[in-house]
């Protein structure tokens, strides 16, 4: 049975709908009105084998911050719902992904504690019209609402686009491992018996 989650969020700043299905083919559909975020979400879907649909509109005439953050919130909540009580999952995942000049390393734990450690520097403040600081804002919202401990480390990278792309591909690969079902795991993968 496919594990699925859907979230709708409406505020005075944004309207967001996210639906995802784990154990899938990695299909991406949707638009957030932030082109670079769409590109990153498509990478997350494809390389994480997650069917992902995102529809978002927001006050991008102000800037892209609210839209990026709220999409992160909804994506985290949808993942949390899709995982249910998290029984049977591998829980931990990590990946190192190169993208030309950049290398990103991501490690994560779906153990119920939302936290982000972000050790990455972007060589420029923008990729096209996109503020690179919003990568961290998005990931913080995603990790918090997915109840995921997420560590991102980029030791080097000369091109800001490549840095961001390596991060999202590494996140996708690590997430693919962590959400996968381990036939040896009985119940919740925690000595507490609950996540």
Q: What is the pLDDT along the chain (195 residues), one digit of tens a residue?
A: 689 999 999 999 999 999 999 999 999 999 999 999 999 999 999 999 999 999 999 999 999 999 999 999 999 999 999 999 999 999 999 999 999 999 999 999 999 999 999 999 999 999 999 999 999 999 999 999 999 999 999 999 999 999 999 999 999 999 999 999 999 988 898 888 889
Instruction: Please name which of 60, 50, 54, 43 lies closest in space to residue 3, comparing C-alpha atoms.
Output: 50
In a domain, 194, yes or no: no
- pLDDT at position 191: 86
Cα(158)–Cα(143) distance, rounded to whole angstroms?
Answer: 26
The structure tokens 């949390």 sit at 80
Whether 191 maps to a domain, the answer reads: no
Q: In degrees to the nearest 10, what's the CA dihedral of 42, 21, 75, 54?
A: 50
Structure tokens at 116: 């982000």
What pLDDT score was predicted for residue 193? 85
Residue 192 domain-assigned (yes or no): no
Q: Find the domain containing 47 and state its range.
A: 4-179
pLDDT reported for residue 1: 64
Q: Is residue 28 part of a domain?
A: yes
DSSP string, 118-144: EE---SSSEETTEETHHHHHHHHHHHH
In the numeric block, which tokens belong to residue 184? 């040896």
Q: What is the pLDDT of residue 172?
A: 98
Cβ distance 110 to 83 under 8 Å?
yes
User: Has residue 101 been placed in a domain?
Assistant: yes
Q: What pTM was computed for the model?
A: 0.96
Q: Is-contact 109 190, C-beta < 8 A?
A: no
Q: Both tokens of residue 94? A: 């990590």
22: tokens are: 């784990």
Domain assignment present for 174:
yes
Note whether residue 55 is domain-resident: yes
The CATH number of the domain holding residue 95 is 3.30.230.40
The count of domains in the chain is 1
Is 137 contained in some domain?
yes
């Amino acid at each position: 049975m496919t594990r699925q989650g859907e979230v709708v969020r409406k505020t005075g700043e944004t309207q967001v709908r996210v639906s995802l299905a784990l154990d899938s083919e990695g299909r991406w559909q949707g638009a957030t009105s932030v082109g670079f975020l769409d590109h990153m979400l498509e990478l997350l879907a494809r390389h994480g084998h997650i069917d992902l649909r995102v529809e978002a509109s927001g006050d991008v005439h102000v800037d892209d911050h609210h839209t990026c953050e709220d999409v992160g919130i909804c994506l985290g909540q949808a993942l949390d719902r899709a995982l249910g009580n998290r029984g049977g999952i591998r829980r931990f995942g990590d990946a190192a992904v190169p993208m030309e000049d950049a290398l990103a390393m991501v490690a994560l734990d779906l153990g119920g504690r939302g936290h982000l450690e972000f050790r990455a520097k972007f060589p420029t403040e923008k990729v096209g019209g996109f503020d690179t600081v919003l990568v961290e804002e998005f990931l913080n919202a995603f990790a918090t609402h997915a109840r995921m401990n997420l560590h991102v480390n980029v030791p080097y990278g000369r091109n800001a686009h490549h840095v961001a792309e390596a991060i999202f591909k590494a996140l996708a690969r690590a997430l693919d491992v962590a959400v996968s079902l381990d036939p040896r795991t009985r119940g919740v993968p925690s000595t507490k018996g609950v996540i």
